[in-house]
Amino acid sequence: MCDLRPHDLVRLHDPRTLRRAYPETPLWVWRALDTAPWVVVRRATAPAGAVPVGVRGAGRGRRFAMDVSVTAVRERVRPEDLPVRSPALPAGLPVARALELTRRDLDGAGVIWGPTGSTGFQLASGHPVVTETSDLDLLLRVTNPAELPDPWALHTALSGLPARVDCQIETPEGAYALGELASGVPEVLLRHRDGPRLVPNPWARRAELS
C-alpha cells in the first residue's frame, strides 16, 4: 500500500484501534467510522509507515485529519476504479445524471479519470452522502497538464452538466483546477503535498495562440 495517492479511498480494518492514538477526537469521527470505515487520502506528508487521511462526517463542516498506519488499510480504491463499478447513486440525482454524461465523454477520449468527493465516497462505500445539491468532483490523471488535447472544450462540456463540476487535473507534481488552467491566466495554483504554490500556467501560451 505504499503507492497510496491523494483522493484514493481506503477501507480500514478496525477503526476502533485508532482511539488510543487519538483520545481527544470528536465523538462524531468514531460514529462516522463505525457507520462506514472509509477514509480519503489527503494531500499531505505523514511519518514513515503512515498515510495522511481525512474522515468524512455529516455535512461539509465535518472533516477530520489524521495519520493512520499503512497496516490499518484493508482495501484501496482509486477514483479511476469507480466508473466501471455499478453506480450506487439514485438515478434521479443531478450528480448521477452528470456522472453518466461525463462517462460518455471521457471514456471515449481515453482519459484516466474518476469521481472524488461525496460521489466517489458513496460509490466506494455504499454509504449515502450525495444530496440534490452536491457537486460532482472529478479527477483527471495525466503526466503533464499540457498533454490534454482540448482543455477548453473539456471545461465547456463539464460546465453544462446537470450538477456543478469541480475538476482537478492530477499530475506527479500535484493538482491543478481545470477551470483555472482553462482561464488562460499566467499563473495558477498547484496543490502540492507540501502546500499550495503559484506556478506558470502550462496552458497560457496555448490560449494566446488559439
- Catalytic sites, residue numbers: 135, 137
* DSSP code string of 133-145: T--EEEEEE-S-G
**What angle do the packed helices 94-109 and 151-159 form, to 10 degrees?**
160
- Strands 73-77, 112-116: parallel, antiparallel or unpaired by DSSP? unpaired
Residues 64, 76, 122, CA angle at the centre, nearest 5°? 60
SS3 130: coil
Question: Could you give the count of Cα atoms lying within 13 Å of 165 in the half-sphere of its Cβ?
Answer: 26
Q: Which residue type occupies 52?
A: P
